[in-house]
Amino acid sequence: EDKVVQSPLSLVVHEGDTVTLNCSYEVTNFRSLLWYKQEKKAPTFLFMLTSSGIEKKSGRLSSILDKKELFSILNITATQTGDSAVYLCAVEAFINTNAGKSTFGDGTTLTVKP
Amino acid sequence: ETGVTQTPRHLVMGMTNKKSLKCEQHLGHNAMYWYKQSAKKPLELMFVYSLEERVENNSVPSRFSPECPNSSHLFLHLHTLQPEDSALYLCASSDRTGGLEHFGPGTRLLVL
């Protein structure tokens, strides 16, 4: 059974701090690892990672995947109150060439205080 | 209209009602998904359709019945639901390159 474990489950920081969110996984037939940000609505896609060691970056957010050790991290630098959200990690397994099956972690609830 | 849309956005139904949730994607994707998100639980995969064929059914009770009439539309038919079925139901789509990049806004369902 595919499994995703995120840590920490919750985190409180002050504006300007840097945070690192962790995601470890077990999966059969790996297709991709995905990060999402969820506020009080549907998840918003952040990154899709398929190859080890290649950092993906978007503004103050970055993420990297280690397929040997089966984990990924999401970094947020110079945090702002608008970064407060639940950050979800998911691992996708192949069903066939057209579709995958994603297993989600419990999420990390990040609170950024002014 | 682009992206993944879902209707209705909110739904309140009794346990004896029959209702349907609708999802539509205009992205040319060939796989569509239903997920359930309950309070304090991770997102749970319910169904996967690939090229309009159901390829995954994740031990979902028969009171939930999916339908995919074409590659752009996905329905979730609901009947005789239980209060514990109250949740956010999310539709998503993906293409051959993988990754659930596109979630719909969700239908927030309350079963009384």
A95 touches B at CB < 8 Å: yes
- CA B93 vs. chain centroid, Å, equals 10
Tokens of A65: 């995947």
- The pLDDT of residue B2 is 60
B93 touches A at CB < 8 Å: no
What are the residues whose beta carbons fall under 8 Å from the beta carbon of A96, sequence distance 6 or more? B50, B55
Distance CA B98, CA A18 (A): 30
Which residues share a beta bridge with B34? B47, B91
User: Which B positions 20-49 lie with beta carbon below 8 A of chain A?
Assistant: 30-31, 33, 42-45, 48-49
Q: What's the number of CA atoms in the CB half-sphere (13 Å) around residue B34? A: 30
Count the neighbouring beta carbons within 10 Å of the beta carbon of residue A77: 13
Reported as a single tens digit per residue, the pLDDT across A12-39 is 999 999 999 999 999 999 999 999 999 9
Q: Cβ distance B65 to B76 under 8 Å?
A: yes
Nearest to B96 among A44, A45, A97 (CB): A97
Residues A26-40 as b or e (16 or more Cβ within 10 Å = b): ebeebbbbbbbbbee
DSSP A49: E
Reported as a single tens digit per residue, the pLDDT across A45-85 is 999 999 999 999 999 999 999 999 999 999 999 999 999 99
